[in-house]
């Protein structure tokens, strides 16, 4: 549908302007009159320049946390939902989110509830957020819900940033290591090739292997490059499939170095999300379904959904959670205490805070373990190259003597 830009006058004589998505100009006029505004001019907006396209823009957890925090602050100050959306659509920095908020604003003006408008944009607003907003609208505590959502996404963003920061050093070290090896094989090795061939000395096996790899890199570099790109793209596409994603996420719970970190991240997300949903009045079965979608691991989500089925049959939540084998023993014990005391949401919140700190420790431990492992691997590779280059030189010296 086309977007129309309008200018209008309010009943107080104030000039306003904005944009509205509609089939015809008459729909824009009706919308303005329903809001007791008098149109001055309405024209179809010009098409956006390619630089303003949202293809490469994405809405991150940080953007959602800021959106919820600002929404809460305005609701708490007595601003209506439509006014909140009107203000936010003008000041949101993320271009994609700004466009979506503008559409939500228009849909709410047309009569949809806030949660219904959010649900129409499920690619941007998670199901967790939609359910909690709906619960807030029903209970009349939307401001409290938005505050909880803001805190939830702020903590999620904090964990995501920690994980990204921890991966920067290994990625840089890997990139530098690969670059150094390629440089040695393609630029340094050829300088020794003529000397080795002209010496008439039989080359040892390590040198032959290295020369073959060097020749292959220099001759078929474009095939190797294309193959690497295709392999990377193929693996990435496979991971996005249901079966591939499940296998990859299961692998995360099997690898010695990342298993402990992944387990703590999933536990922190499970505890925090379930606590937030239960505190907002969402039923347990519906909360577990949302938690499964929010933990960010398909293998863990599968285990949580199996636990949900047991809970649906009347089993207490602690038992099936323990049976999954996904979480540390502390979690099911804390859940059992929370169920018995009737403070499950509060207990889970404290558990989430504990595992947030545990994630910090696990990230530091993983980084500490990865550094020497990568250095040793790099030393072995460089050592092999050096030995392969030096061995023929010793043979040549012995021949000369």
**Residues 82-116: pLDDT tens digits?**
999 999 988 888 888 999 999 999 899 888 899 99
Q: Are 57-156 and 166-400 the same fold in CATH?
A: yes
163 pLDDT higher than 60: yes
Burial 205-228 (b: 16+ CB within 10 A, else e): ebbeebbebbeeeeeeeeeeeeee
How many other CB atoms are found less than 10 A from the CB of residue 202?
Answer: 9
The per-residue pLDDT for range 171-183, each reduced to its tens digit, is: 888 888 888 888 8
Q: Give the mean pLDDT of 256-285.
A: 86
The per-residue pLDDT for range 4-38, each reduced to its tens digit, is: 777 887 777 777 777 777 777 777 777 777 777 77
Query: Count of residues for the chain?
Result: 401
Position 391 scores a pLDDT of 80
Position 70 scores a pLDDT of 92
CA distance 375 to 344: 46
Homologous superfamily of 57-156 in CATH? Type II secretion system (T2SS), domain F (1.20.81.30)
Write out the H or E segment, with its range, that includes residue 108. helix 95-109
Residue 73 vs residues 70, 77, 148, 284, 383: alpha-carbon distances, Å: 5, 6, 12, 28, 60
The per-residue pLDDT for range 358-395, each reduced to its tens digit, is: 888 888 888 788 888 888 888 888 888 888 888 877 76
Position 104 scores a pLDDT of 92
Q: Give the mean pLDDT of 145-158.
A: 88
pLDDT bin (cut points 50, 70, 90) of residue 208 is confident
> What Rg, from alpha-carbon coordinates, does the chain have?
30
- Percentage with pLDDT > 90 across the chain: 18
Homologous superfamily of 166-400 in CATH? Type II secretion system (T2SS), domain F (1.20.81.30)
Position 53 scores a pLDDT of 42
For residue 275, the number of C-alpha atoms closer than 13 Å in the C-beta half-sphere is 24
Query: What integer best gives the mean pLDDT of the chain?
Result: 84
Position 197 scores a pLDDT of 66
Asked whether 20 and 28 are in contact (CB, 8 A), the reply is yes
Position 47 scores a pLDDT of 47
56 pLDDT higher than 70: no
Position 400 scores a pLDDT of 54
pLDDT bin (cut points 50, 70, 90) of residue 54 is very low
Q: Give the mean pLDDT of 332-355.
A: 90
pLDDT bin (cut points 50, 70, 90) of residue 74 is very high
Position 44 scores a pLDDT of 74
48 pLDDT higher than 60: no
Tokens describing residue 77:
């100050």
Domain chopping of the chain, boundaries: 3-47, 57-156, 166-400
Position 50 scores a pLDDT of 37
Position 49 scores a pLDDT of 42
Position 152 scores a pLDDT of 86
pTM for the predicted model, two decimal places: 0.69
Q: Give the mean pLDDT of 217-223.
A: 88
């Amino acid at each position: 549908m086309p977007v129309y830009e309008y200018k209008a006058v309010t009943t107080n004589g104030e000039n306003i302007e904005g944009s509205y998505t509609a089939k015809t100009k008459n729909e824009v006029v009706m919308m303005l009159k329903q809001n007791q505004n008098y149109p001055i001019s309405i024209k179809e907006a010009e098409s956006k320049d390619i630089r303003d396209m949202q293809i490469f823009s994405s809405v991150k957890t940080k953007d959602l946390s800021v959106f919820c925090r600002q929404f809460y602050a305005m609701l708490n100050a007595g601003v209506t939902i439509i006014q909140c959306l009107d203000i936010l659509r003008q000041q949101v920095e993320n271009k994609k989110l700004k466009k979506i908020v503008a559409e939500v604003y228009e849909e709410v003006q047309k009569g949809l509830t806030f949660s219904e408008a959010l649900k129409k944009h499920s690619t941007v607003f998670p199901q967790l957020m939609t359910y909690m907003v709906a619960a807030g609208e029903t209970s009349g505590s939307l401001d409290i819900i938005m505050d909880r959502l803001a805190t939830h996404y702020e903590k999620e963003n904090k964990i995501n940033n920690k994980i990204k920061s921890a991966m920067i050093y290994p990625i840089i070290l890997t990139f530098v290591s690969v670059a150094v090896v390629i440089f040695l094989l393609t630029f340094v090795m050829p300088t020794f090739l003529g000397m080795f061939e002209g010496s008439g000395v039989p080359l040892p096996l390590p040198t032959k292997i290295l020369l073959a790899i060097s020749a292959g890199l220099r001759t078929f570099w474009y095939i190797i490059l294309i193959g690497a790109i295709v392999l990377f793209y193929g693996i990435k596409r496979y991971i996005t499939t249901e079966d591939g994603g499940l296998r990859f996420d299961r692998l995360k719970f099997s690898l010695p170095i990342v298993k402990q970190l992944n387990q703590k991240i999933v536990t922190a997300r499970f505890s925090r999300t379930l606590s937030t949903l239960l505190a907002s009045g969402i039923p347990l079965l519906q909360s577990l379904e949302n938690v499964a979608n929010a933990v960010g691991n398909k293998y863990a989500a599968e285990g949580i959904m199996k636990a949900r089925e047991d809970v649906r049959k009347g089993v207490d939540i602690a038992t099936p959670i323990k049976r999954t084998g996904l979480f540390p023993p502390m979690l099911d014990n804390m859940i059992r205490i929370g169920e018995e005391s009737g403070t499950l949401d509060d207990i889970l919140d404290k558990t989430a805070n504990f595992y947030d700190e545990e994630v910090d420790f696990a990230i530091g431990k993983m980084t500490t373990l990865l550094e020497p492992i990568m250095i040793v691997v790099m030393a072995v590779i460089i050592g092999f190259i050096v030995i392969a280059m030096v061995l023929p030189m010793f043979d040549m010296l012995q021949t000369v003597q």
